[in-house]
Structure 1
Amino acid sequence: MKTAMDLVGAAKAQIQEIDTEGAEMQTKSADAIIDVREPDEFAAGHLPGAINIPRGLLEFKLSADEALSARDLNILLYCKTSGRAALAAQAMKEMGYLHVSSISGGFDAWLQAGKPVFTPSLPDFD
């Protein structure tokens, strides 16, 4: 019986993972930066320019959004530590996407490397 980590390990063997330096460079040329974390994680801070499509909705959103339907888009994925992003990258590969990368170590590695983060501010109602 496979565990979640077995599935993540198998996915990582089939996808392209890049380090935070490569990911920072890719943010400049990516057609889409997709954060596959949950909305509350995204709201707490994310890569500048990223859009939020939670892992559980990814295939459905990609199929429904014409702007993301071209299979030759240059896409950068990430999650908290890289497990969900690896599974997402594998699913996108199976859907026919040709240029998908995942950040090794995820958002945690991005933060640890001191890379830029966008944190939306909430309105002050006082």
Structure 2
Amino acid sequence: MTLSANTLVAEARARIRELTPEALAPRLADDIVLIDVREPAEFETGHLPGAINIPRGVLEFQVEAHPAVACVTDPALSARDRDIVVYCRTGGRSALAAYNLQRMGFTRVRSLAGGITAWREQGLPLHLR
């Protein structure tokens, strides 16, 4: 059976928790790890305040300092019980990322519903470099 990207995203969304931009915005001051899983060039166009950029393609490798990422891990991924919110442009990549992080033992991970696109549509603040 062949699966489409949309099917994979739908399956992931059925197994994760999503957070709306309106629910996340007032919590930005909390101890939440925000991970932008878009590519670096996308991140540079604007991102949520306080977000770190770990592209989707290397996220799982960053968890355990895999040789594919020069045996380096990101400190944001050091505690599997921290509040983590992942996001991308529209929510597909972040749904897949949240699902895989859950499978890797992260217990408090969520995906931003609608991604940064929904965030922008609500007129919420962005950080520009």
Superposition TM-score, scaled by structure 1 size: 0.91
* Residue 63 in structure 1 maps to residue 72 in structure 2: no
Count how many residue pairs are aligned between Structure 1 and Structure 2: 120
Correspondence for 1:123 = none
CA contact (8 A) 1:15 1:90 kept: yes
Question: Is 110-119 or 30-39 further displaced after alignment?
Answer: 30-39
Is the Cα contact below 8 Å between 1:32 and 1:50 reproduced in 2?
yes
How much does 1:79 deviate? 0.1
Give the aligned partner of residue 41 of structure 1.
42
Distance 2:56 2:83 in 1: 18
- Percent identity reads 47
User: Structure 2: any 5+ residue segments left out of the alignment?
Assistant: 66-72
CA-atom RMSD in angstroms: 1.1
- Give the AA of the match of 1:22: A
Q: Which amino acid aligns with 2:14?
A: A
Task: Give distance in 1, aligned partners of 2:56 and 2:95.
Answer: 10
Q: 1: CA distance between counterparts of 2:107 and 2:32?
A: 13
How much does 1:30 deviate? 3.6
| C-alpha contact 1:30 1:76 (8 A) present in aligned 2 | no
SS for the counterpart of 1:33 is strand
Give ranges in structure 1 of 5+ residues lacking alignment: 121-126
1: CA distance, partners of 2:124 / 2:111: 16
Cα distance in 2 for residues equivalent to 1:73 and 1:103: 16
Q: Deviations over 1:22-51 (max 9, x none)?
A: 111332224310000000000010001000
Whole-angstrom distance in 2 between the partners of 1:66 and 1:46 = 18
Q: After the TM superposition, which of the residue ranges 108-117 and 21-30 deviates more from structure 2?
A: 21-30
Per the normalisation by structure 2, the TM-score is 0.89
SS in structure 2 at match of 1:41 = helix
